[in-house]
């Protein structure tokens, strides 16, 4: 039997603990619990997500800010029903509910402060999108205008899809498709990025 205190102290990876994914403004304001129905499954998928995707980001760019992490099915359904920017629970690309038995997925909306500072000065979000595509085994990415936050998703069988609400809006890369940009041009976009996994706190 899990206690909420014990669950929050579970270390998912080198840099991340479960507690930071359980915080929810929606849950706090509306008093809807954000507690997994199946904690062991949420932890298992959260570990795969953090080890595969978030740890390499943090080791390369420094601190990764979790904007919206895990959501219980109850909380996500409440957010969807009340227009609080939560997709419906059965939406195929919903990534925040980590413990649906038949939907092997884990994801979060995150911000990389290192890149957010450059984005605020006019940097193209696609520079980061192509860096992630060329370095990480992601499933889906959705970019959002504020702070260049993005939903980053892990699945055991990645879909490799990139979409954005930032101009140019729409789908940058469809599942199973090859990038339109030549690899050399993609690499030129992020030539000034820190070395992959090279430093934890880039200048």
In this predicted structure, what is the pLDDT of residue 91? Answer: 86
Spatial separation of the C-alpha atoms in residues 96 and 108, rounded to whole Å: 6
The ranges of the chain with pLDDT < 50 are 199-203
Nearest to 67 by CA among 148, 129, 163: 148
Strand, coil or helix: 105: coil
Count Cα neighbours of 124 within 13 Å in the Cβ-side half-sphere: 12
Report d(CA 128, CA 193) in Å as an integer: 9
The tally of CA atoms less than 13 A away on the side-chain side of residue 57 is 28
**Would you say 122 and 110 are in contact if contact means Cβ atoms under 8 Å apart?**
no
Q: What's the pLDDT at 45?
A: 98
For 194, which DSSP code?
P
How do the residues of the chain divide into helix, strand and coil, expressed in percent and rounded to 5? 35, 15, 50
């Amino acid at each position: 039997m899990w206690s909420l205190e014990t669950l929050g102290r579970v270390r998912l990876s080198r840099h991340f603990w479960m507690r930071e994914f359980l915080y929810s403004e929606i849950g706090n304001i509306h008093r809807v619990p954000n507690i997994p129905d199946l904690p062991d499954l949420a932890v298992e998928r959260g570990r795969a997500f953090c080890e595969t995707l978030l740890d390499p980001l943090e080791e390369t760019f420094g601190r990764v800010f979790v904007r919206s992490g895990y959501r219980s099915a109850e909380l996500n359904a409440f957010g969807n029903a009340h227009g609080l920017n939560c997709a419906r629970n059965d939406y195929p690309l919903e990534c925040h509910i980590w413990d649906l038995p038949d939907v092997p997925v884990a994801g979060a909306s995150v911000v990389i402060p290192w890149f957010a500072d450059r984005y605020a000065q006019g940097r193209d979000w696609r520079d980061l999108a192509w860096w992630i595509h060329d370095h990480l085994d992601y499933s889906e990415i959705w970019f959002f205008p504020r702070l260049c936050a993005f939903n980053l998703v892990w699945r055991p069988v990645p879909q490799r899809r990139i979409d954005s609400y930032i101009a140019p809006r729409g789908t940058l890369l469809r599942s199973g498709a090859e990038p339109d940009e030549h690899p050399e041009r993609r690499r030129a976009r992020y030539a000034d990025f820190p070395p992959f996994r090279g430093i934890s706190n880039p200048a």
